[in-house]
Amino acid sequence: MEQPNLSYIHSMSGGDKSFEQKLIDIIKGEFPEEKKIYYENITAKNYKLAAENVHKLKHKISILGLEKSYETAVTFENNLLEDRTTLQDEFESILIIITNYLQQL
Amino acid sequence: MNCIIIDDEATARAIIAQLCSNVDHLNVLEEFPNAIQAIKYLNQNEIDLIFLDIHMPDFTGFDFIETLKNPPKIILTTSDSNFAIQAFEYDCIVDYLVKPITLERFQKAIKKANAKTVTATGLDSSEKVETTSGNDLYVNIDRRLIKIDIPSIYLVEAKGDYIHVKTESQNYTVHSTLKKIEEKLPNDLFLKVHRSFIINVNKIIDIEDNSVLIKKDVIPVSRSNRPELMKRLNLL
C-alpha cells in the first residue's frame, strides 16, 4: 500500500515552513470532520451524500501524494452515485492510513 | 488584479491563497466557504477575478455564475474534470484548474487571466466597432481591425447583438449596436430612419410612402423619422 507524503505541500510552499505547517494544521482539522460525516452517511446508506464526502476527501488524498488511492476514491465516488458500495473497504483503508499519518505530523 | 476565492474546503482555499501570494499584483481580498456569502460581498465590492470551486453543496459554482449580471473573470477550480465542456459555455471563465493545482498550471491560468485583461479593453470581442479615422471606420473582426470606407456604406441593420454593415463591395457582420455605430458615422451623410436601420442618404434611389429603396434593399421609415428624412432631401 502506498504511503502519504508531503511532496505536493513542499512544492506549493517554496520552502515557506510556516505555510507548510499552516496547511498541515488545516488538513488535520478538516480531515477528521469530513471523515466523520462520511461514516455517518455511509452507515445511514445515504450514498449520494457519502459521494459528496468522498469528493472532498479525495482532494486531501491527492494532496498527500496518494496517486493510486486517489483513483480508488474517484471510482468509489462514482459507485456511490450509482448506489453501489464497491471499493468501500479499500477506500476506508485509505482513510485509516491518512489518519495514522496525520497523527505523526 | 483583485481576486476572491470561493471554495467550501479550507485546504483548497489555503493552497490557492498561497499560489496567489507568489504572483505580483494579484491580491486576495477575501475568501468564502460558500457562494451565498460571496454574492453579498460582490454586491458591494468590485473585483477582477474569482477562483471558483464548482462542486459545492446547495449552490454550485455554475449556480453562482448564473446569479452574476456582469461576472468578472473566473478561474474554475475543481477535483472533477467532467465539467470542462460546461465551463466553455461561459465567456467569463478564463481557465479550468483540476485539483490538486500545480504551481505551473496555476501560473498558466494567471497568464490567461492577464491576457483577457488586455483584450477586454481592446480586441476582446470577436467583432466590434472600434474607431474612425477620417473617412474610415475600423471594425474588430476576429481580432483584426478591418478598415471600411465610410462613404461606401449604404446601409446598417441591427440584428440582435449584431449589426450588418453593407458597403458597395462587401458586407460585414459586427458584434455591436446601432447606437454605437451611429455615433461613429457622420450626421450629414447618415440617418437613422427606423430603430433597426441607418441609411446613407446619398445612396437613396427612391422613396415610396414609408419606405426607401437603397440599392436593392427596401427599408422601412418610421413615422417619427420621416420628417428628418424629408428635410435632408433636395426636393424640387
Question: B158 and B116: one domain?
Answer: no
Question: What total number of domains does chain B contain?
Answer: 2
> Is there a domain that residue B43 lies in?
yes
User: How close B78 gets to chain A, by Cα (Å)?
Assistant: 9
Least Cα separation, residue A89 to chain B (angstroms): 22
- pLDDT tens-digit profile of A35-55? 999 999 999 999 999 999 999
CATH, residue B69: 3.40.50.2300
In a domain, B74, yes or no: yes
Within a domain: residue B70?
yes
Burial label for B208, CB within 10 Å (0-12, 13-18, 19+), is exposed
Question: B71 and B25 in one domain?
Answer: yes
Quote the crossing angle between the two packed helices A17-43 and A88-104, to the nearest 10°. Answer: 150
Evaluate if residue B144 carries a pLDDT over 80: no
Place of cell 459521494: A51
Interface contact B22-A14, CB threshold 8 A: yes
Rounded to two decimals, the ipTM of the complex is 0.93
Q: How far apart are CA B76 and CA B65, in angstroms?
A: 11
Long-range CB pairs of B182-189 (<8 Å, 24+ gap) are B184/B129, B184/B131, B184/B132, B184/B137, B185/B137, B185/B150, B185/B153, B185/B156, B186/B150, B189/B150, B189/B151
Helices A17-43, B10-21: inter-axial angle, 10-degree rounding? 160
Mutation site, A9, A10, A12, A55, interface B, largest B CB count within 10 A:
A12
Contact flag B100-A29 (C-beta cutoff 8 Å): no
This prediction's pTM: 0.65
Task: Enter the C-alpha cell of residue A88.
Answer: 468501500
CB contact under 8 A, B14 and A26: yes
- Please list every residue in chain A whose beta carbon sits closer than 8 Å to the beta carbon of residue B19: 12
B106 and B175 both lie in a single domain: no
Task: Output DSSP code: residue B102.
Answer: P
Does any domain span residue B175? yes
- The pLDDT tens digits for A51-69 are 999 999 999 999 999 999 9
Residue of A nearest to B78 (CA): A59
Residue B145 belongs to a domain: no
Whether residue B16 sits in one domain with residue B102:
yes
Q: Residue B50 corresponds to which cell in the numbers above?
A: 474569482
Q: Is residue B168 part of a domain?
A: yes
Percent of chain B with pLDDT over 70: 90
C-alpha atoms less than 13 angstroms from C-alpha of B56 in its C-beta half-sphere: 26
Q: CB atoms < 10 A from the CB of B33, how many?
A: 16
Domain identity same for B190 and B102: no
> Is the same domain home to B191 and B116?
no
Examine the domain organization and report whether B116 and B68 are in the same domain. Answer: yes
Q: Say whether pLDDT at A102 is over 90.
A: yes
Task: Based on the fold, state whether residues B7 and B115 are members of the same structural domain.
Answer: yes
B156 and B51 share a domain? no
CA neighbor of B95 nearest in space, from B143, B35, B50: B50
- The pLDDT assigned to B13 comes to 97
Picking from B120, B138, B167, the residue at the C-terminal end of a domain is B120
Which residues in chain A touch residue B100, judged by CB atoms under 8 angstroms apart? 8, 59, 62-63
CA nearest B77: which of B60, A77, B2?
B60
Query: Based on the domain organization, do B173 and B223 belong to the same domain?
Result: yes
Burial of B207 (0-12, 13-18, 19+ CB in 10 A): middle
Contacts of B176 (CB under 8 A, 6+ apart): B127, B128, B129, B139, B162, B163
Average pLDDT over residues B8-17: 96
Choosing from B103, B120, B137, the residue where a domain stops is B120
Same domain for B90 and B18: yes
In a domain, B133, yes or no: no
Residue B117 pLDDT: 53
Q: Name the residue among B8, B15, B57 with its Cβ closest to that of A23.
A: B15
Task: Please report, to the nearest 10 degrees, the dihedral formed by the alpha carbons of residues A12, A16, A18, A23 taken in order.
Answer: 0
Chain B contact set for A16 (CB, 8 A): 18
Query: Which structural domain range is residue B181 located in?
Result: 152-232
Chain-centroid distance of CA B15 in Å reads: 32
Instruction: Read off the pLDDT band of A28 (50, 70, 90).
Output: very high
Mean pLDDT of chain B: 85
Cα(B144)–Cα(B127) distance, integer angstroms: 9
Residue B129: inside a domain: no
Separation of alpha carbons B15 and A11, rounded Å: 11
Q: What pLDDT is attached to residue B131?
A: 52
Boundary of a domain, candidates B120, B139, B161? B120
* B222 plus B177 within the same structural domain: yes
Give the CATH number, domain containing residue B182. 2.40.50.1020
